[in-house]
Chain A
Amino acid sequence: MKDIIFDHVLKAYGKNVVVKGLNLNICEGERLVLLGPSGCGKTTTLRMIAGLENITDGQLYMGGRIVNDIPSGKRNVSMVFQNYALFPHMTVEDNISYGLKVQKVDPREIEERSNAAISMLDLNGLEKRKPKELSGGQRQRVALARALVKRSDYFLLDEPLSNLDAQLRVHSRKELVKIHEMYHQTFVYVTHDQVEAMTMGHRIALMYDGILQTIDTPSNVYNRPANVYAARFIGAPSTNIIEANLNEGKLIMAGQHIVPPEVWIKKMKENGGDMFYFGIRPEHTKITTDYMDNALKGIVRYTEDYGNKVGVYFDINGKELISVCDNNVPATGERVYFVPDYSRIHLFDYKTENSIGYPEDLSKHNYGVVYELRGRLAGDRKFKAE
């Protein structure tokens, strides 16, 4: 088994604890993404797997044995560094084969493996160049080739795409997945980019402040966030989180109230307490300038054009929320009615900030149930700005 298990692992620099009692199980052959903002301990976690950081407390198991005191070179890991860490005085070829030479692999084997890596990563013709004569993308591929020739069981990547431009990043993302599908190493990928995490990971481990917030499939991390932090971190624009008070079947938020479907009220009552955090992604909301029943009323503060969609920031009694819409964009200063898709809302316990869970069948509780247009017709809208 080429799995990695963190058992209550703690890492501290003096009094500064950067990883706080991490329990994490990385399965053999899995692509796990460690995601989080800078300083959350994700790189430290990766470096502990590589053996580049000592473990202050707890146990780290790799392939079934404790590796706390096993030096980097004996852990059979390869790593791609954020700055690539290519040896500037060596040619591409020497950079790629250096590790194999140190390990005294048979020269014919070295040549064979290097050539395979060179042609797979499209580095033909660059063998004799020094790193400074390469472009960023080429350097990144040399770093990958150097990690690949080792054919190790564990493949660690520390933000390898962060120095590339956006187009190249998308391309490299696919390449990395393709490479992993070929070798099926245990793949641990550190990034702060949620798009990379969502597209590459079999599972995402979201970290914040040295604590593992959630670990789940990309789909679950997005659709069923485990806590307020996960809901906020994943998705752009960020999830709306509002304090909500459950009172006689109504949810009171920012001085207004809405009536959620019965299934949600039941779920909230099961959880206990009457204070919650109500979460809804901007893309799962509707706003209109026409009057709607059971909606929150707000004033549009400003809009952001994303090209394909428009983000609308509006204000409900001092609380800023955001919604995205693709047509009928309200103007700044206009009054809007805001309705969430009740099959996509999230409710979190007020104290623990953890999800209270989801009712069994939500599919029929989308906008349709509570969506009642009254009074004016859709074409009757008047912009205040005009």
Chain B
Amino acid sequence: MKTELNSMKWHILVIIIVCILIIPVVFAVSNSFKTLADAFSNMFNIIPANPTLENYIHVFEKLPFLQITLNTFFIATIVTGFKIITSLLAAYAFVYFNFRGKNLLYFVLISTMFIPFTVIMIPNYLTISCMGFRDNLWGVILPQLSDALGIFLLRQSMRTIPRSLIEAAYLENASDFKIMKDIIIPLVKPALISTGIIFFINSWNEYVWPVLVLKSKENYTLSLALQMFISAEGGTEFTIAMAVSVMTMLIPLVLYIVFQKHIINTFAMSGIKG
């Protein structure tokens, strides 16, 4: 009885938190289906008085919206793919290889996580310009092919794998590549997926770096498109901005729903028992 009451208290708290978190999303969705006039008069009505798709139609007319979505998707996919591959390889080396200066190298690598983006923004911009990648999707991608966070997370996950598993595979004359493929990847899969999702969403939402590199509309990403409707030059067409927001949200949301089980697993899992 007491535990029931106790868990009820927690449930109420969690429900309140969820409501607070979900309000902006509901707000965005409902306003994206309102006319501008309707939105101004009944901003906090969840159900639009005269539902309309005109905001969405407007976005598609005014912008190469499909292209923009594809750009964002392209950047996010390539960046995520590379970050995962480089993190896996580096984490494997840090866990299973012994080499001189390993700990120092790891320390240096991890400390890069604490360097603010604004510090490396200008050097990166100059490098990209010199390479001729200004206003090019590859200009956005190139400086982001590896990530200390990924190395850190995957290394932590690999360290929970008992060393004897790897040794058992060594005894079978398995190569490091084979060990990675047959043993490490299946065992760190939940961590791999959640790290991948983090990378994908970060890249999807990225604003400052693309805004520096990308200039022409056909190269824009979704966050840049969004900014067009809420900046000074975009005016106050915030119902259109809401429509873009909703569309920006869609892909990460679908991804999350698909991989939900793995993401929750990663946080729930304390280790792999041998």
Contact = CB atoms under 8 A, between A and B. Distances in A.
Interface of A: 50-52, 71-74, 77-79, 81-89, 98-99, 102-103, 131-132, 146, 150
A83 B171 contact: no
B183 interface: yes
A325 B171 CA distance: 50
- Give the one of B168, B272, B273 with max A CB within 10 A: B168
20 contacts: A50-B171, A51-B170, A52-B171, A71-B173, A72-B171, A73-B171, A73-B174, A79-B167, A81-B167, A85-B165, A85-B167, A86-B274, A88-B274, A89-B183, A89-B187, A98-B169, A98-B172, A98-B182, A102-B178, A103-B173
The 5 closest A-B pairs by CB, nearest first: A73-B173, A99-B172, A85-B164, A85-B168, A89-B186
B162 interface: yes
Contacts of A73: 170-174
Consensus secondary structure, chain B interface: helix
A102 B171 contact: no
Contacts of A81: 164, 167-168
Q: Which of A74, A77, A78, A83 has the most CB of B within 10 A?
A: A83
A73 B178 CA distance: 13
A102 B274 contact: no
Nearest to B166: A85
A137 B164 CA distance: 19
B11 to A, nearest CB: 31
A132 B173 CA distance: 25
Interface of B: 162, 164-165, 167-174, 178, 182-183, 186-187, 272-274
Contacts of B171: 50-52, 72-73, 77-79, 99
A98 B168 CA distance: 10
A102 B186 contact: no
Contact of A85 (B162, B173, B178): B162
A85 B172 contact: no
Contacts of B183: 87, 89
Nearest to A95: B168
Given A83-B274, A85-B164, A85-B274, A71 B186 contact: no
Given A85-B274, A89-B187, A132-B273, A102 B168 contact: no
A84 B172 contact: no
A77 B168 CA distance: 11
Given A85-B274, A86-B274, A132-B273, A103 B172 contact: yes
A74 B167 contact: no
Nearest to A74: B173
A251 to B, nearest CB: 51
A176 B231 CA distance: 77
Given A89-B187, A103-B172, A72 B274 contact: no
Contacts of B162: 83, 85
A73 B272 CA distance: 25
Given A52-B170, A99-B172, 9 more contacts: A52-B171, A73-B174, A81-B164, A81-B168, A85-B165, A85-B168, A99-B171, A99-B173, A131-B274
A77 B167 CA distance: 12
Contacts of A72: 167, 170-171, 173
Contacts of A82: 164
Contacts of B272: 88
